Structures are given as C-alpha cells and as structure tokens.
Amino acid sequence: MDTANTLNQAKMAFEFNITKSADYSIIQLSGNLIDKLEANQMLSDLNHLIEQGNKYFILDLQHLKFMNSSGIGVLISILTKARSIGGEVVICKISPKINQLLVITKLNSVFKITNSIEEAEEELAQK
C-alpha cells in the first residue's frame, strides 16, 4: 500500500460544513466533488434546512480543489432547490480552476458569484 498516495487521497476527499445564521446558511465545500453519492449527506442536510424555512445559501468553494460533471450536478441541484422555494444561492471564493469550469459550462451566468462571503451576504441582503 502506498501510504503517501493514501494520505493524498484522504486529503482530497469531499467534505462539507454548514454554518447557519438567521437569514442564510453558509455551506463550505472542500476536497474533490466528483461523485453525487459523496454529497448525499450534504443534500440531505440541505433538505432539512429547507424544511425549517431556510431558503438562502452561500456556497464557499475556497477549499474545493476539483469538480467534475457530477459535482456540477450537485451545485445545480442546490440552486434548483433554493429557487423552487423563492430562495437563492450565491457562490463565493472560487479558485481559478473551478471558475474556469463554470465559465466553460456557462454556469457563471446562472449562479451569482462573488469574491467573498461579505459580498455574498450583500447579494442576499438585496433579496
């Protein structure tokens, strides 16, 4: 077993953290988002927040290293859930690599994208 490779893969595993405030929730994504199954718990937690009346979300992608088409599907799923209940999603702090993916797929025109959480909060405050 290659210990260095195993450690590297462990560092790249998809993880998320949700911080809830009165008006919105911040979902911090990290690692590699390459399989929808990896995001099932996050989507379940998101559904629970929506059931509690939350409809505004900030996706902090600062520590998201890689995303493929499955990862894009997860982001679109979050956006669809929020907008279907009159909410919104703002993406912030994206890396150049993830930004390039959003530009190539033209999702940069679908999502609201900001440079910081503060700017994302300002976007949501206008709702």
Is 90 within 8 Å of 122 (Cβ atoms)? no
**What is the predicted pLDDT for the residue at 39?**
94
**Three-state SS at 16:** strand
The lowest-confidence range among 3-12, 25-34, 43-52 is: 3-12
pLDDT tens for each residue of 86-105:
999 999 999 999 999 999 99
Residues in the chain: 127
Burial class from Cβ neighbours inside 10 Å (0-12, 13-18, 19+) for residue 24 reads buried
- pLDDT grade for 10, boundaries at 50, 70 and 90: very low
**Considering the chain, what percentage of its residues have pLDDT values greater than 90?**
83
Alpha-helical segments (H) within the chain: 3-12, 40-51, 69-84, 96-104, 117-125
Looking at every residue in the chain, the average pLDDT score rounds to 90
Q: Which fold has domain 3-125?
A: Transcription Regulator spoIIAA (3.30.750)
Q: Nearest 5°: phi and psi at 11?
A: -65, -25
Count other Cβ atoms within 10 Å, centred on residue 19. Answer: 12
Residue closest to 74 by CA, chosen among 37, 116, 106 = 37
